[in-house]
Amino acid sequence: MSRERIVEENAVASRTTLQEVFSFPHPVNESAARLVAGMVAAVSLTIIIIDAYWLLPVLTYGFIARVLTGPTLSPMGLLATKVIAPGLKLSVKLVPGPPKRFAQTLGLAFSGTAMVFHFAFGLGTASSATLGILAAFAILESVFGICAGCILFGVLMRIGLIPKDVCERCVI
């Protein structure tokens, strides 16, 4: 095999690997998503209750990782999908991925805003209030299976702000 051919095959393999890493699963295991939401709620409440604002970048990183790669680069995502869900033998319930990714993006907006409030402006109360809203939504998801971001995604699809071809299964 020629050197050029080997280089070309390696380049294709690298692109495929990067595409696999930087992709969001579709469908998503709802049980694992609810576990992640429970962890987000726990971390958010911990930050608020014991003033552990040093955890804000960790929480925000988790959302960045999940938005970009699903569970692949997310410690919470990996813990939920590879350890806790299989360990507890939770049933796999597959749901569409795009609404879950949208919900993770909203979580990123909330955690990022809380981080900016705290570290850039010294607004501890505003940061805690923002985290409290994030925790409330995460509790809705983890305890009751109500994904507020997913509901908003559906509304945005119905009014045409998100094209229907983004997720045919998501159209309600």
Residue ranges covered by each domain of the chain: 27-146
For residue 82, give the DSSP letter: I
Cα 137–Cα 39–Cα 149 angle in degrees, nearest 5: 30
Q: What is the pTM of this model?
A: 0.88
Taking a C-beta distance cutoff of 8 angstroms, is the pair 20, 80 a contact?
Answer: no
Taking a C-beta distance cutoff of 8 angstroms, is the pair 111, 55 a contact?
Answer: no
Identify the residue whose tokens are 């409290």.
132
CA neighbor of 142 nearest in space, from 21, 43, 55 = 43
Beta bridge partners of 94: 29
Write the single-letter amino acid at 33.
Answer: A
Structure tokens belonging to residue 170: 């998501």
Give the model confidence (pLDDT) of 66-106 as tens digits: 999 999 999 999 999 999 999 999 999 999 999 999 999 99
The angle, 0 to 180 degrees and rounded to 10, between the axes of the packed helices 56-69 and 30-50 is 160
Give the model confidence (pLDDT) of 25-60 as tens digits: 889 999 999 999 999 999 999 999 999 999 999 999
